Amino acid sequence: MTTAPLAARLTRVQGPLFFPVTAYGPDGTLDLDVYRTHVRRGVAAGAAAVFACCGTGEFHALTPEEFARCVAAAVSATAGAVPVVAGAGYGTALAVEYARLAADAGADGLLALPPYLVVADQAGLRRHYAELAAATDLDVIVYQRDNAVFSPETVLALARTDGVVGLKDGYGDLDLMQRTISAVRHGAPDRDFLYFNGLPTAELTGLAYRGVGITLYSSAVFSFAPDIAGAFHRALTRGDERTVEVLLDAFYAPLVELRNAGRGYAVSLVKAGVRLEGLDVGPVRPPLSEPAAAHVSALAELIERGREALADLAAEAGGAPGDAVDTGSGARGVTVGERA
């Protein structure tokens, strides 16, 4: 854990946000050595932050003790180079317990996952996240999706809540997001507040979200193809439309079609991708299932196609693969009173 506030460290980032998968050994128990290797590789590849034990990391499948060990392993593996954000979810009491475990493990912040099962009203949601934010000194990013969709007034109230520093949107209603950004900008001009595109395969909607000023996004692809994800991030950041369009058409659009071919593929297909790249992180835990063999083969072909696209782009530019999308200014999340 570092002394710099999480929000400050995420305001300007130089790479994608990394959501590592959780590694299991042959006996189904945690494999923390492989997990640390996975995290270290992501940091070395240019991750701007590590989001440990969140959706891609199978938060739902971990016991509290396993969760604490994973978060501590992520903190150790990053060695302070980038912030570590841990998931926290279920009902309020359990979410608070996970938050305290994350704090004890050295995390820099929390991603507050939706409450378990119930569909609460806006007042209940505000109370839930306020109690979670008050439980520790960790900064909290609230995740909007499924049964936790907020009105602009609720997000404004959360933005005024001590400890709540941002909103990750996994719902995908850009009309709602624009009204939310406007409400917070007008109602809390003194509060810096971060916004994240949290849709599955967020790169596909990156251009649309940038249109309303949201540049931070979670990248599941970074877990298994950091070269492709990093190249796309650099291109999107610097406005390289040619590279963005080529990667969207050759890789990301067909990847989304493949992801939609099976239940739970937003996690299990990502984990299969990590294994394809040579790191044995084990299978997913129940109730998720492994992707069909044909779909894993299709993923391998897609990764190859994405890399071929990068090589072709580099050839156009007269350089080595990746040169066509090298470097660029850091992306950032929109803050109150400011649009990227």
pLDDT digits (tens, 9 = 90+) for 103-116: 999 999 999 999 99
Instruction: Give the DSSP H/E element, type plus range, for residue 196.
Output: strand 194-197
Residue of 143, 209, 252, 265 with catalytic role: 143
CA distance 176 to 225: 32
Q: By percentage, how much of the chain surpasses pLDDT 90?
A: 89
At 196-241, the pLDDT tens digits run: 999 999 999 999 999 999 999 999 999 999 999 999 999 999 999 9
pLDDT given at position 338: 33
At 123-166, the pLDDT tens digits run: 999 999 999 999 999 999 999 999 999 999 999 999 999 999 99
143 is a catalytic site residue = yes
Residue 178 has pLDDT above 50, yes or no: yes
Residues 83 and 113 sit within 8 Å (Cβ to Cβ): no
Residue of 168, 209, 217, 252 with catalytic role: 168
CA distance 153 to 56: 29
CA distances from 174 to 171, 214, 323, 331 (A): 9, 10, 33, 20
Name the average pLDDT for the chain: 92
116 is a catalytic site residue = no
CA distance 66 to 30: 7
CA dihedral 27, 30, 32, 36 (to 10 degrees): 110
Q: Which residue has the tokens 């909607």?
A: 205
pLDDT given at position 333: 37
Alpha helices in 260-325 (DSSP H): 265-276, 293-317
Residue 332 has pLDDT above 90, yes or no: no
Q: What is the DSSP letter of 250?
A: I
Instruction: Give the DSSP H/E element, type plus range, for residue 217.
Output: strand 216-219
DSSP string covering 142-186: EEEBTTB---HHHHHHHHTSTTEEEEEE-S--HHHHHHHHHHHHH
pLDDT given at position 327: 33
Type of residue found at 50 = V
At 266-285, the pLDDT tens digits run: 999 999 999 999 999 999 99
Residue 334 has pLDDT above 70, yes or no: no
Q: Which CATH class is domain 14-238?
A: alpha beta
